[in-house]
Amino acid sequence: SAVISQKPSRDICQRGTSLTIQCQVDSQVTMMFWYRQQPGQSLTLIATANQGSEATYESGFVIDKFPISRPNLTFSTLTVSNMSPEDSSIYLCSVRRGTSVEQYFGPGTRLTVT
Amino acid sequence: GENVEQHPSTLSVQEGDSAVIKCTYSDSASNYFPWYKQELGKRPQLIIDIRSNVGEKKDQRIAVTLNKTAKHFSLHITETQPEDSAVYFCAASTNTGGFKTIFGAGTRLFVKA
């Protein structure tokens, strides 16, 4: 498995502001993903972070709201823009390495919007 | 669209009993089926997986079965222990046209001592 870290681990933000979440992996990975997990709910894929190109977003998620960067094979950021209380959730980074199909998750960022 | 249904949503068993969680998927292109365990406040942890060319896989007290024809797969935990208490998620992945994993809604397992 890969060692995945996320920063911040949690934050409380005012509505209308933006928060950028960082995901760092200890080694190069082929694929990086961002998920949202609302309280007591399952994992919903926001987007696949593509190295050197625009992220691929899932239905219901748009770049203006969730801009994503992936400048190299070990790092990605997710920004939650113009936040509202409905954005309160846990945001998780996930990776796949090489040709392996196993997918591993970071520790998550717990976001509360007031 | 693609969907993974998971049952039951909550399962309570006595320590030492078995627990079974069942999932159904809709995308016939799915070829990889992982199971994750998520303890309270922790990240989802991959505990076992099965590929589409295999019908059953076992790892100590946990086993998974897959019926590709019926698009069903199941997680079996034997001799349950209190530390098995967690939320379990099934998932179905496809590797065609880009890798994508769809998760079930989760099963909250309580193991009573």
For residues A93 and A23, the answer to whether their CB atoms sit within 8 Å is yes
| pLDDT above 90: residue B98 | no
Mean pLDDT in chain B?
Answer: 94
Enumerate residue ranges in chain A where pLDDT < 50: none
CB contacts under 8 A, A 61-100 vs B, are 92, 96
Residues 6+ apart with CB under 8 A from A99: A30
- Distance, in Å, from the CA atom of A34 to the CA atom of A13, rounded to the nearest integer, reads 20
User: CA of B55: how far to CAs of B64, B66, B92, in Å?
Assistant: 8, 5, 15
Q: What is the H or E stretch that residue A76 is in?
A: strand A75-80
Mean local confidence (pLDDT), B1-25: 95
- Distance, in Å, from the CA atom of B33 to the CA atom of B25, rounded to the nearest integer, reads 10
Q: How far is B19 from chain A (nearest CA, A)?
A: 20
User: CA of A103: how far to CAs of A91, A92, A94, in Å?
Assistant: 16, 12, 7
Residues 6+ apart with CB under 8 A from A57: A46, A47, A63, A66
Give B54-74 pLDDT, tens digit per residue. Answer: 899 999 999 999 999 999 999
What residues of chain B have any CB closer than 8 angstroms to a CB in chain A?
Answer: 1, 32, 34, 36, 42-46, 49, 51, 89, 93, 95, 98-106
Q: How many Å is the Cα radius of gyration of chain A?
A: 13
Position B97 confidence tier, pLDDT thresholds 50, 70, 90: low
For residues B74 and B20, the answer to whether their CB atoms sit within 8 Å is yes
Give B25-48 pLDDT, tens digit per residue. Answer: 999 999 999 999 999 999 999 999
A82 burial class (0-12, 13-18, 19+ CB within 10 angstroms)? exposed
A107–chain B Cβ distance below 8 A for any pair: yes
Residues 6+ apart with CB under 8 A from B53: none
Structure token pair of residue A14: 């005012």
Choose the mutation target among B5, B30, B37, B43 for the interface with A, i.e. most A CBs under 10 Å. Answer: B43
pLDDT for A30 equals 87
Q: How far is A87 from chain B (nearest CA, A)?
A: 18
| pLDDT above 70: residue B81 | yes
A103–chain B Cβ distance below 8 A for any pair: yes
